[in-house]
Chains A and B, each alone.
Chain A
Amino acid sequence: MTQYLDFEKPLAEIEGKAAELRALARGDSSVDFADEAQALDTKAAQLLEDLYKTLSPWRKCQVARHPDRPHCRDYIDQLFTEYTPLAGDRNFADDHAVMGGLARFEDKPVMVIGHEKGHDTKSRIERNFGMARPEGYRKAIRLMQMAGRFGLPVITLVDTPGAYPGKGAEERGQSEAIARATEACLQIPVPLVSVIIGEGGSGGAVAFATANRVAMLEHSVYSVISPEGCASILWKDAEKMIEAAEALRLTAQDLQGLGVIDRIIPEPRGGAHRDKANTVKAVGKAIGTMLGELKKKDGAALVKDRRQKFLSMGSKGLAA
């Protein structure tokens, strides 16, 4: 059962009506609503198509946060084989908001690291809703450096509202952990490719996404601050998140225009959450392409290119 977003209300009504008709027909064999139900289905499909063709930035934020959207775990399960999770920062704890380990992608050994939000109440709490603490970034640093030593490409999957704003996280050096993770991204002499699969929340995302190639799913978002946070600071009103989302230019389309990301991965009609299998497949294809582009480069060239990519960022602006 799909969980509808607020802007999908008209769609929910049509799909509800079609389901009702079919239920009626099942209960009473003397009536036949097949044609009516079919007409409603067509109407719903068209509406869904239209809604998702013109998603506003704020609506994209809602889609990117949809609880049924495929998460890191789904990608790892379906795109990788022999996944061998590795745990802990060797210092304080294992952060369950970050998962990662050794695996094979298209039969070749790689290191995969990502934020995991969880899929039900229990796992969401365990995963801290994908908000990593310093241990999560330090685990990622450890895995990236290991990959660097053994020549394994690194694939990161980004899906986080941001780093966890907690007391312990600050005491244990959240800032330092993020800074070091970004630094590790810039240092490893192996291909590093990143996909923003849902929310790319601020420093918590950059710490994973300072990559040779960065892709975004069509309706994912990547931003310096959440629209709600931006609205409460600049508009002094958190309810102005629609305006803030607009102003921040956080969509995959705008970020490609700014030269911040390299490619957009199309989502199935109605968003990734309506067709997980094909979304995962499309992401897998993009990862394969991006790794292929980097295959011929040696470690020094990969590091140099990565630095140059970020140094030269910001030369392209967007028109009003």
Chain B
Amino acid sequence: MNWITNYVRPRINSIFSRRETPENLWQKCDECGTMLFHRELSGNQNVCTNCGHHMAITPRERFNALFDNGIFTEVKVPEPLADPLQFRDQKKYPDRMKAAQKQTGEKEAMLVATGEIGRTPIVAAAQDFSFMGGSMGMYVGNAIIAAAEEAVKLKRPLILFSAAGGARMQEGILSLMQMPRTTVAIQMLKEAGLPYIVVLTHPTTGGVTASYAMLGDVHIAEPNALICFAGPRVIEQTIREKLPEGFQRAEYLLDHGMLDRVTPRTKLRDELISIVRLLLGMPQAVKGDLAPPEPTAKPEATAGK
């Protein structure tokens, strides 16, 4: 038995948990296997510099790269009832929640923020796949409603980044009820004449796809993202045949008319700025680095922690 692999390795892994990865560590691309410098990878928004594979990115990392100078203000999301069904499978739901919170350092599976992109004020919401598979429960529903209300109040567009395995089963029927709830939120935006842009990221599935993720004015997906209602495994079991290569991937959906564009993450920011400004009749944004905004008396802006 090799004591180094069985004892030392797990200990090293636990000392350097994902959140505290030192900048000099390497990470392997899950697609091409290239070893990438962590700093290089995060500098490229977790897109492999060798093959262009898009790895998962947390909402906070995404907002740091999206908003001008990484400055954004979090929007408070009303707290839902904890564990409304007293759900337990092999674990209790509150225990699963605590584990997810500890692992991610986040409270729940969606982050909502206001800020500027290319000096264009927006509201953004991003779903966190690393938090219980990004699953949609009461909190995610509340977050989308809060995002829509904030957008209506500030008269700003909403840009939503979806990522979820589907509904939060531990909230049973109440997770299902987020489909109509979030649809009401999107209707509020549309009635206020505000753009609603959805960026579908890997993976976006189930009830999330079948509600707010498919109701955008513009649908953009990241390359190769899996986007579906029923997952490929369920379909293969039902129809008893192998699905074609690339089935339910972003490019396939683009071909089948469900998306407007497939855009690499590194080009997304400029594209979002353009689309929003075009829709709102604003002049073309100045490209390139912008000077930091004037310091305000009240430090209302908080960067990601």
Q: Which listed residue (A203, A258, A315, A320) contacts B210, Cβ 8 A?
A: A203
A67 near B: Cβ within 8 Å?
no
Measured in the bound complex, the distance between the Cα atoms of B184 and A169 in whole Å is 25
Are A183 and B187 interface neighbours, CB within 8 A? Answer: yes
Are A175 and B209 interface neighbours, CB within 8 A? Answer: yes
Q: Which listed residue (B172, B173, B214) contacts A179, Cβ 8 A?
A: B214
A296 near B: Cβ within 8 Å?
no
Are A317 and B81 interface neighbours, CB within 8 A? Answer: yes
Are B87 and A163 interface neighbours, CB within 8 A? Answer: no
A261 to B, closest residue via Cβ: B173
Measured in the bound complex, the distance between the Cα atoms of B90 and A311 in whole Å is 31
Residue among A164, A179, A248 with most chain B CB within 10 A: A179
Are B239 and A167 interface neighbours, CB within 8 A? Answer: yes
Measured in the bound complex, the distance between the Cα atoms of B228 and A169 in whole Å is 10
A7 near B: Cβ within 8 Å?
no
Q: A173-B257, A206-B179 are in contact. Are A234 and B89 (CB under 8 A)?
A: yes
Are A311 and B181 interface neighbours, CB within 8 A? Answer: yes
Are B256 and A173 interface neighbours, CB within 8 A? Answer: yes
Q: Which residues of A contact B285 (CB under 8 A)?
A: none
Q: A167-B239, A310-B180 are in contact. Are A175 and B90 (CB under 8 A)?
A: no
- Closest Cβ of chain A to B186, distance in Å, is 8
Q: Which residues of B contact A243 (CB under 8 A)?
A: 89
B133 to A, closest residue via Cβ: A233
Are A249 and B173 interface neighbours, CB within 8 A? Answer: yes
Q: Which residues of A contact B184 (CB under 8 A)?
A: 186, 307, 310-311
A202 near B: Cβ within 8 Å?
yes
A174 to B, closest residue via Cβ: B229
Q: Which of B39-92 contact A (CB under 8 A)?
A: 80-81, 83-90
A51 near B: Cβ within 8 Å?
no
A231 to B, closest residue via Cβ: B89
Are A175 and B88 interface neighbours, CB within 8 A? Answer: no
Measured in the bound complex, the distance between the Cα atoms of B61 and A11 in whole Å is 62
B100 near A: Cβ within 8 Å?
no
Q: Which listed residue (B141, B176, B214, B235) contacts A166, Cβ 8 A?
A: B235
Q: Which listed residue (B87, B180, B258) contacts A206, Cβ 8 A?
A: B180
Are B169 and A167 interface neighbours, CB within 8 A? Answer: no
Q: Which of A155-176 contact B (CB under 8 A)?
A: 163-167, 169-176
B247 near A: Cβ within 8 Å?
yes
B234 near A: Cβ within 8 Å?
yes
- Closest Cβ of chain A to B202, distance in Å, is 15
B183 near A: Cβ within 8 Å?
yes
Are B176 and A318 interface neighbours, CB within 8 A? Answer: no
Measured in the bound complex, the distance between the Cα atoms of B67 and A269 in whole Å is 62
Q: Which residues of B contact A230 (CB under 8 A)?
A: 169
Residue among B85, B141, B173, B214 with most chain A CB within 10 A: B173
Are B84 and A318 interface neighbours, CB within 8 A? Answer: yes
A300 near B: Cβ within 8 Å?
no
Q: A223-B173, A247-B85 are in contact. Are A314 and B141 (CB under 8 A)?
A: yes
B302 near A: Cβ within 8 Å?
no
Residue among A170, A233, A258 with most chain B CB within 10 A: A170
B13 near A: Cβ within 8 Å?
no
Q: Which residues of B contact A163 (CB under 8 A)?
A: 210, 229-230
Interface size class of A (residues with CB under 8 A): 35 or more
Q: Which residues of B contact A315 (CB under 8 A)?
A: 81
Are A165 and B84 interface neighbours, CB within 8 A? Answer: no
Q: Which residues of B contact A248 (CB under 8 A)?
A: 85, 169, 172-173
Q: Would you give the 0/1 interface string for A166-198, flagging 1 where the beta carbon is closer than 8 Å to chain B?
A: 110111111110111011011100000000000
Q: Which of B162-183 contact A (CB under 8 A)?
A: 167, 169, 171-177, 179-181, 183
B268 near A: Cβ within 8 Å?
no
Measured in the bound complex, the distance between the Cα atoms of B88 and A179 in whole Å is 29
Q: Which listed residue (B83, B181, B210, B227) contacts A178, Cβ 8 A?
A: B210
Q: Which residues of B contact A167 (CB under 8 A)?
A: 235, 239, 241, 243, 247
Measured in the bound complex, the distance between the Cα atoms of B247 and A118 in whole Å is 31
- Closest Cβ of chain B to A305, distance in Å, is 12
B213 near A: Cβ within 8 Å?
yes
Are B239 and A317 interface neighbours, CB within 8 A? Answer: no
Q: Which listed residue (B83, B89, B141, B171) contacts A235, Cβ 8 A?
A: B89
A145 near B: Cβ within 8 Å?
no
Q: A170-B248, A175-B214, A182-B211 are in contact. Are A187 and B187 (CB under 8 A)?
A: yes
Q: Which listed residue (B88, B183, B241) contacts A247, Cβ 8 A?
A: B88
Q: Which residues of B contact A178 (CB under 8 A)?
A: 179, 210-211, 229
Are B258 and A318 interface neighbours, CB within 8 A? Answer: no
Q: Would you give the 0/1 interface string for B174-206, flagging 1 where the beta carbon is closer than 8 Å to chain A?
A: 111101110110110000000000000000001
Q: Which residues of A contact B172 (CB under 8 A)?
A: 223-224, 247-250
- Closest Cβ of chain B to A304, distance in Å, is 11
Closest 7 CB pairs of A and B: A165-B230, A317-B84, A175-B209, A234-B89, A178-B210, A224-B176, A320-B86
Q: A165-B235, A179-B212 are in contact. List 20 more A-B contacts (CB 8 A).
A: A167-B239, A170-B248, A174-B229, A175-B214, A179-B209, A183-B215, A203-B179, A203-B207, A203-B211, A203-B229, A206-B207, A224-B171, A225-B167, A247-B87, A248-B169, A250-B173, A260-B173, A310-B181, A313-B181, A316-B81
Binding site for B on A (CB under 8 A): 163-167, 169-176, 178-180, 182-183, 185-187, 202-203, 206-207, 210, 222-225, 230, 233-235, 243-244, 247-250, 255, 258, 260, 307, 310-311, 313-320
Between-chain CB contacts (< 8 Å), 8 pairs: A170-B248, A175-B214, A179-B183, A202-B167, A250-B172, A255-B173, A307-B187, A318-B85
